[in-house]
Copies of this chain bind each other. A is one copy, B any other.
Amino acid sequence: MPTDIEIARQATLIPITEVAKNAGVPDDALIPYGKYKAKVDTAALPTTANGKLILVTAINPTPAGEGKTTTSVGLSDALHRIGKKALLCLREPSLGPCFGVKGGGAGGGKSQVMPMDEINLHFTGDFHAITSAHNLLSAMIDNHIYWGNSLDLDLRRVTWRRVIDMNDRALRQIVGPLGGVSNGFPRETGFDITVASEIMAILCLAADLEDLEKRLGDIIIGYRRDKTPVFCRDVKAERAMAVLLKDAILPNLVQTLENRPAFLHGGPFANIAHGCNSVIATKTALRMADYVVTEAGFGADLGAEKFMDIKCRLAGLKPDAVVLVATVRALKMNGGVSKADLTKGENVEAVRKGAVNLKRHIENLKKFGITPTIAINHFYLDTDAELAVIKEMAESFGAEAVICKHWAEGGAGAEELARIVAAKADAGAPDFNQLYPSEMKLADKIETICTEIYRAGSVTIPAGVRSQLKQWEDMGYGHLPICMAKTQYSFSTDPTALGAPENHDVAIREVRLSAGAGFVVAIAGEIMTMPGLPKVPSAEAIYLDENGQIEGLF
């Protein structure tokens, strides 16, 4: 069986100018970055959006892999194959983690997005621009303090840190500036990885450059001794930051292995942020294509919920159809099988047992007024009996299920899925609704998500957190949606509780206000915003071979 990278290397890419032409991008709207990447000037495109929006989400992720991105690629390619005009919208990957563990890539098998190596390295520089904009604000804050601190920022309460697109645990917590008068006033601070920057979330939620600049200005950089907030616009940084982001805000066009167009744009963390590609890419795609396939990070409990309650709410979007990806292997693990035991032959009972996870996600999605189509992402070891039991159970939960072979066959393996999903998208989702109204109190929103989606029996919100939420409501932030940061492996906050746990307690440890992005982060558990490198980082094995081809990146 060929590896992803072997398949990718056998692919024949067409020039990005051709991809663009096929996607209806006029010549003067294309800004090429090399031969196979481009940015698209959205101003030059049709203004009317007629496309149907299809969200691809998944059951809870397991080490077995569920193939959400792969399915998104396969579905988009399949829509083209059955004669539909489709456009794929995905997140762009982060550079830093590529040097930690072998990884990267977008999709897998015959359903990948190209060119993998460039996408995983500097791509079109979006993340570098976000890093620059973030750190310009950081520099201007310390510079403001240095020159007299007329805004009266409390040095202990500067919440804006710095970012770097590198797994560098040594920067998590530092003290600086040291070295005396000419360097500034020492304080505790640190670095997060770039994808955790609020600017990443802002870029992905902004309607346009003007809205981006407004949101940048809305960022809270810290507080005074009296706990009143100090904003980015108070240090006059937001306009220069927008200048740094003027190209980054434009969607990036690449192609699938079948030479179909794909936007890869933005990549916010799926825990402390909402984990979806940019609103601008999605809305631009809806102006260009009849069907737009997009995905949301993690499983449906986190990803789809945030897609509906944050992205759709803030951007005025709604999904016309939802695809829920499941695999035999992931359901087996949800049914109690260890990763090592996955290769030990047929186990219909485990699949049946693990399908409670699938059932729960179907029920949850129905709460948003949408019944998902189940895409069973086929793996070569799956048996007919195992596949049949998923189909049967999905149907018993009221959802249609389709076996898809896009990993092995590309778009040809997902044509049935494409036909079903296109029909559902055409019918639309007239009953779509968000889980909670914007007017609901912040604490109530948190409780609603925990009880309705996670099926918690109780939600512990400490008094300090409640008073913080109350304070933000008093400041005018009560209408914001909640961005839950918890483990993606379980409905509960215990990553080992697979299947469909219920009546557990969700303890909210901390809340953070992303005033620029426009959501309140509620943290249940430990959240890491700066990864480290492993003992043997994959960087040690990444190199250019004698032909200038990158080895070891995937």
Taking Cβ atoms with an 8 Å cutoff, the residues of A that contact B are 31-35, 39, 95, 99, 121-122, 125, 128-129, 131-132, 135-136, 138-140, 142-143, 146-147, 162, 164-179, 182-184, 188, 190, 209, 213, 236-237, 239-240, 242-244, 246-247, 532-533, 535, 537, 539-540, 542-544, 548, 550, 553
Contacts and interface: CB of A to CB of B under 8 A. Distances in A.
A131 B129 CA distance: 12
Interchain residue pairs A-B with the least CB separation, the first 10: A174-B176, A173-B179, A239-B543, A142-B170, A128-B128, A240-B539, A139-B168, A170-B177, A236-B540, A240-B542
Contacts of A143: 169-170, 532-533, 537
A237 B188 CA distance: 30
B173 A178 contact: yes
Contacts of A142: 168-170
A122 B540 contact: no
Contacts of A35: 31
A543 B210 CA distance: 11
Nearest to A123: B125
Given A539-B140, A542-B243, A34 B34 contact: no
Given A122-B125, A136-B166, A177 B178 contact: no
A341 B284 CA distance: 57
A343 B396 CA distance: 89
A160 to B, nearest CB: 12
A542 B143 CA distance: 17
Contacts of A176: 170-171, 173-176, 190
B243 A550 contact: yes
Copies in the complex: 2
Contacts of A168: 135, 138-139, 142
30 contacts: A31-B34, A31-B35, A33-B33, A99-B139, A121-B244, A122-B132, A132-B165, A135-B166, A138-B170, A139-B166, A139-B167, A139-B168, A139-B170, A142-B168, A142-B170, A146-B170, A146-B532, A169-B182, A169-B183, A170-B183, A170-B184, A174-B174, A174-B176, A174-B178, A239-B540, A239-B543, A239-B544, A243-B542, A243-B543, A243-B544
A190 B178 CA distance: 9
Contacts of A131: 128
Contacts of A128: 122, 125, 128, 131-132
Contact of A125 (B32, B125, B537): B125
A283 to B, nearest CB: 18
Given A125-B125, A173-B177, 7 more contacts: A128-B132, A132-B165, A143-B170, A143-B532, A143-B537, A240-B543, A246-B544
Contacts of A188: 178
A179 B183 contact: no
B171 A239 contact: no
Contact of A246 (B167, B190, B236, B548): B548
A367 B213 CA distance: 56
Nearest to A16: B32
A456 to B, nearest CB: 29
A19 to B, nearest CB: 15
